Amino acid sequence: MATPCSFISSLSEAALKKAKIELNEDPNTRDQVILDLRKAIEEKEGSEELESVQFERKDDAFLIRFLRARKFNKERSLELYINYYQCRIEFSEVFEDFTPQSVEMILKSGIINVLDDRTTDGTKVICFDAVKWDMDSQPFPHIVRSLVLVLEKLLEDEETQVHGVSLFESFEGIDFAKMCKIAQHEAYYRGMLKILQDGFPIRLKHMHVIKQPWYISIVMMLIWPFLKEKLRQRIHMHGYELSTLHEFMNPQNLPLDFGGSLPPMYNFNAGRLFWEVGVVTENTNKSTEV
């Protein structure tokens, strides 16, 4: 028998209004929808086709993430929930030792950074600095693990569940040789996109690419077939014309790398979500804890 539901939301009035309009979330029926989803999960649990899948969490605060990600459609939310756990089996390199400690150096390195402020439409911003990726010591599955850990952390905030996440990527300083090396990871790109598009309860609203060289087309050609049409339409290539990026986010809230007024993005490294982290120096690419 499904556990009764009494979910208490912490959404602001603005986010609640957005959830009603965009996500079909009705506070009057929300508890019943969560209960129905939990019941559907329990009916699937232990079935022959899912005998190797363990559903670790079925609490209200966890299930609401899947409902919001699929606009309160129970069937699609159930499919996403099942995919979430199946991905943990299919992509074991990413999800083994799934702890911040296992990728601490990556999280503190300035490759993945999380800004304090949001875009004009409320999305949380993750910034990538591709040039800081040391591909010899930081394998691609660990980069994906770091990203998913960051997303898990951000989804603890209900506002982010509703407004979603935007990805800002800088390719400044990437030479042709490194871009070719990045392009060698086609299978991992395919896996990452499967996780983000079909196996994770996130609303991915925008992807902004800046300062990209012409040869970024090598990577784009690899990932394009695996992108859903909705996500393709959300990719914005700005080059060095950062004024177009600033239409999405006030430059006063952006780091220097993105034409903003704030310090360089490595000062917003993702390690801050998990530990108290000091400034990352550009020369050593290492962080100092305080």
Q: Residue 6: which pLDDT band, with cuts at 50, 70 and 90?
A: confident
| Whole-number pLDDT of residue 236 | 94
**Could you count the other beta carbons within 10 Å of the beta carbon of residue 21?**
9
pLDDT for 172-227, tens place per residue?
Answer: 999 898 888 887 777 888 889 999 999 999 999 999 999 999 888 888 888 898 89
The rounded distance, in Å, linking the Cα atoms of 198 and 244 is: 29
DSSP 227: S
DSSP 138: S
For the chain, the average pLDDT equals: 91
Distances (CA, A) of 178 to 134, 175, 181, 184, 217: 10, 6, 5, 10, 13
- Give me the residue label for tokens 């005998």: 51
Contact 110, 152 (CB under 8 A): no
Residue 278, pLDDT above cutoff 70: no
| Whole-number pLDDT of residue 1 | 56
The rounded distance, in Å, linking the Cα atoms of 147 and 138 is: 13
The number of helix segments (H) and strand segments (E) in the chain equals 12, 7
**DSSP SS3 for 282:** coil
Contact 15, 159 (CB under 8 A): yes
Of 52-56, 220-224, 257-261, which range is least confident?
220-224
Residues 6 or more apart in contact with residue 14 via CB below 8 angstroms = 122
Contact 167, 207 (CB under 8 A): yes
Residues across the chain: 290
DSSP 220: H
Residue 275, pLDDT above cutoff 60: yes
96-100: average pLDDT: 96
| Whole-number pLDDT of residue 284 | 36
Q: Residue 290: which pLDDT band, with cuts at 50, 70 and 90?
A: very low
Contact 143, 102 (CB under 8 A): no
**Cα–Cα–Cα angle for 209, 212, 217, rounded to 5 degrees:** 95
**DSSP SS3 for 39:** helix
Strand partners, 151: none
Residue 286, pLDDT above cutoff 70: no
pLDDT for 128-167, tens place per residue?
Answer: 999 999 988 999 999 999 999 999 999 999 999 999 999 9
The rounded distance, in Å, linking the Cα atoms of 140 and 146 is: 10
